Amino acid sequence: MKKKIAFLLILVFLVGLVLFLFFSHQLVNWLWYRSLDALPQFWIPLLTKLGIRLGLGFFCFCFLYLNLRQTKKAFLELDSEVNVSPRQHTFFSVITALLLTLFLLPGSAPDWTVVQQYLNRTAFGVTDPIFHLDLGFYLFAYPFYQKLIVTFLGLIILALLSVTL
């Protein structure tokens, strides 16, 4: 019992330390941007990063969980030495989806600048001679689409691996 309390206290201390370091860094940045009267330049990257992570994280978690949930009937019908109840299967599916989402997010989430360039794209008024698309598409939209394709490909591969294992 004492080991559990000690472990919990160490975990709370480490989480608190990480949060303190993160928020103290953000506070210094906020104070600096405020002194320059440039608070929108502080909030745009911060909120864009947060929105990307939350939106993509929610989508990845739901996609992975729904794929794992589809395996429930087949998994419970297997004759194996390990007896797993439907409740345990749901619990393991949620934990697996959460861990795989946390694994996927850091490397696959688009850079906030790519997202902002896509959201604030402008037309150049010059088209390429082959595909007849505006040059703004190649500079602002195409990198965003490439990053989305890579992200969804990674998500599909993780879903296939999680369902088969």
43-57 pLDDT tens trace: 999 899 889 999 999
What's residue 105's pLDDT?
A: 84
Percent of the chain with pLDDT over 70: 98
At residue 93, does pLDDT exceed 80? Answer: yes
At residue 78, does pLDDT exceed 80? Answer: no
The end-to-end CA distance of the chain, in Å, is 34
Q: How confident is the model at residue 80 (pLDDT cuts 50, 70, 90)?
A: low
What's residue 79's pLDDT?
A: 64
**What is the chain's mean pLDDT, rounded?**
88
Q: How far is CA 85 from CA 37, 63, 69, 88, in A?
A: 58, 22, 13, 5
pLDDT in tens, 121-148: 999 989 999 999 999 999 999 999 999 9
What's residue 64's pLDDT?
A: 92
pTM of the model: 0.77
